[in-house]
Amino acid sequence: MTGNYQNILVAIDGSKEAELAFKRALVIAQKNNSIVYLVNVIDLRSYVGLEAFDKSFPERARDMSEGMLEEYKERAITSGIDKVFILIEFGSPKELIPVEIAEKLNIDLIISGATGLNSIEKFFMGSVSENIMRRAKCDVLIARDKE
């Protein structure tokens, strides 16, 4: 990578792949003195049945997301990144991350973990990282576990 990335968006979902994405973002941000945005998109469509029984679910999901992102933010600050912001959104990560959020924040690099979906799930749903790659107008780095 030879780009001078000033605004980096990191997709965080609590997975091992997101952890890899975060670590890669720290290295790039340190080299470029970048602003880092940590985003978690809560897709409530996955929890439609649960939300029907528990109206407090969106609020609890936001609280859990905020706690997770605050931990990542602290780690980034400890590693020397001065400008770290967290974003929590509700909706489709496939739509929000590569299009709305990236354009709104003038993102020049999106970093996401590789998908954990198997080939059948990918066929029917498509992965978030694959969709980010196709739709983003900026550079995209997909962090992959080498194992």
Q: Which pLDDT value is given to residue 60?
A: 84
Sheet holding 35-42, edge to edge: 84-90, 35-42, 7-11, 109-113, 139-143
pLDDT digits (tens, 9 = 90+) for 2-48: 579 999 999 998 888 899 999 999 999 999 999 999 999 988 666 55
Q: Percentage of the chain surpassing pLDDT 70? A: 81
Q: Which pLDDT value is given to residue 118?
A: 44
Q: Please indicate whether residue 117 or residue 29 has the higher confidence score (pLDDT).
A: 29
**Which residues face 113 on adjacent strands?**
143
Domains of the chain: 7-143 (3.40.50.620)
For residue 99, give every residue at least 6 positions away whose Cβ sits within 8 Å of its Cβ, in sequence order, or none. 135, 136
pTM for this prediction: 0.85
Q: Which pLDDT value is given to residue 125?
A: 41
Q: Which pLDDT value is given to residue 33?
A: 95
